[in-house]
Structure 1
């Protein structure tokens, strides 16, 4: 087999270039702190790193969704708590005005305070977030108002999804289609149903006002929407007439307070679920981040050692190339 001088030169140059590439790669890894800077560095690891980062990004989005849901639920909690406080005051007045100690003039005077309570409760029932969305409008969060004047029963109010408003401009069937949900964690089927059905991966951020403010309607005329706002209107009407409030008034106020207590408990449960999902997501993310670091990050000590070895190897290759260049028969003639 013939071995020419050109072969020696070619092999030496290839060796020098290889060591230079190794040094450049190690310098890049040390400067970025990453072992894998391009897919070509380690195709399998690069694919796993990409998948890990996508999963962690999804967990971050779930956390953002949870923060949004917490804000919405906190506002709902505040609105319901304010309404409950107003109803408790209304109940105290109803019990007082039921006593024979109070006459018609006293009851008419009390009607003024009930009127103020109606305004407060109506405002909270039509609560609007900073984003301009109605909390108690079910799926129709962009409605102008949740409880509007009932055209079939003047002086009373109807929910925007009520049958009393069918055919009227205010009627909105979307208000009866459940509520809005956000995803706060991974689930098994990746399907969103009309309600969360106890699925911890998604949480309801709004509630249907017809449900939250429903009453038994013991105090209301036939055909009037059975909601607590109308109960207060009926209470005010009776006081203005100078008569004692009916037993149905107190019963409806009690049932509304009870119903709102149930809703507040549900809101608290959803807030706890968001917190649990957040903690679980952060724990999972820590394990994913550790795996990513093992795949992607550079061991600085090992990198410096490898760089030193490559630099020494380059220096030796350059010295060998110098010797190869001097190989010639003329040197020995």
Structure 2
């Protein structure tokens, strides 16, 4: 096969240019520390790194979301602690006011503090987070959730919960509705409530009540009517007599799976009402307690009315405190879930970064060795070209 001199020169120059280009690429890799200088170097690997970097970006967004949720939940936790402290103080005042040694003046002072506590609770319910959004308004977080018109309280928010994405498959609520915290508190013991009728003339006071068998309680309304100081009838909501029995102070009255105790001496005709628990709001309960303590107490019957009213308010307070503790537990669980998810995201991020590093980062030892071989090869090619380019048949004529 004949090879022209110009063809030989061009072929040699092309080969040396390829070797020089390979050296330049290796030098760029060494200076940048990257194995892939462009997607063309390894299209499949480049596509994988793009996907993994997108995953890293999503993880960063999840962590930012988690931080937003954590900050808002911390605000809520602080507010709930304040609510709990206020309710505990209100409970102390209720017990203090229920003491027979209190004078009308001292009860009036207690009632005045209770009214201040109502204003405090409304203020807490209308607290905002760090970005100016109302904590307990649900999704309507630009509207103050609790308003007061005289002795009535209204909720202007909704019962929605904003879910924030903190992981690929995990969302978490960043708050709670004020309706569930402040307005949907079951009165009585949470199943039924017991109260004395306003017209009672005896000294009967409802104390302990409980559910013995939930399956037997039919959620009907009942009236315990004393036919004499030592006997009573139990009537259902239709007026039918369910049971009749004798009575002595401190006896437990039981029927339909429930039980409650009456202390003191009810008079003939006195009635005690048993009704299924219904939702009451925290603010009205405290305000009603203040009103009860301001009522005049000049007879044994009025004193019994005071004790019945305060006892009912105390039960409602205990329900409110339990509700706050339940919500605080939920908030704590969410905060723990955020921490757990952040740790999980960090582990996933480390795996992704390690994978990206294995694909993109340069093996310096291999690159330096390759550069040495490429330089030696180029030098040999150049020397060979120098020696062959001067060869000619005319040198031997």
TM-score in terms of structure 2 length:
0.71
Partners of 1:16 and 1:241 lie apart in 2 by 108
Gaps of 5+ in 2: 194-277, 298-305
SS at match of 1:182: strand
Partners of 2:58 and 2:15 lie apart in 1 by 46
SS at match of 2:147: strand
Q: Indicate the residue corresponding to 2:135 in structure 1.
A: 135
Does residue 236 of the first structure (1) align with residue 290 of the second (2)?
yes
Deviation at 1:240, TM superposition (A): 4.2
Deviation at 1:182, TM superposition (A): 0.8
Does residue 11 of the first structure (1) align with residue 65 of the second (2)?
no
27-36 or 85-94: which moved more?
27-36
Report 1:258-297 matches (<5 A). 258-297=322-361
Gaps of 5+ in 1: 162-174, 188-200
User: If each structure's strand is expressed as a fraction of its own residues, which one has the higher value?
Assistant: 2
Report 1:202-217 matches (<5 A). 202-213=171-182, 214-217=184-187
* Larger relative contact order, structure 1 or 2 (CA cutoff 8 Å, min sep 6): 1
Deviation at 1:236, TM superposition (A): 2.7
308-317 or 84-93: which moved more?
308-317
Q: Indicate the residue corresponding to 1:302 in structure 2.
A: 366
Matching residue within 178, 183, 206 for 2:165: 183
SS at match of 1:246: helix
Does residue 156 of the first structure (1) align with residue 152 of the second (2)?
yes
TM-score in terms of structure 1 length:
0.84
Partners of 2:366 and 2:23 lie apart in 1 by 13
Kept in 1: contact 2:187–2:319 (CA 8 A): no
Partners of 2:140 and 2:385 lie apart in 1 by 79
Partners of 1:81 and 1:99 lie apart in 2 by 28
Partners of 2:361 and 2:279 lie apart in 1 by 64
For the pair shown, the structure with the greater C-alpha radius of gyration is 2
User: How many residues were matched structurally?
Assistant: 299
Kept in 1: contact 2:80–2:324 (CA 8 A): yes
Give CA-to-partner distance per residue, 1:51-79, whole Å, 9 cap, x none: 11111221122112112111111111111
Kept in 2: contact 1:137–1:206 (CA 8 A): no
* Root mean square deviation, CA, Å: 2.1
Kept in 2: contact 1:22–1:310 (CA 8 A): yes
SS at match of 1:183: strand
Q: Indicate the residue corresponding to 2:70 in structure 1.
A: 70
SS at match of 1:134: coil
SS at match of 1:304: helix
SS at match of 1:206: coil
CA distance 1:254–1:328, change in 2 (3 Å): same
Give CA-to-partner distance per residue, 1:218-261, whole Å, 9 cap, x none: 69xxxx98211222222233334456453221111111100011
User: If each structure's helix is expressed as a fraction of its own residues, which one has the higher value?
Assistant: 1
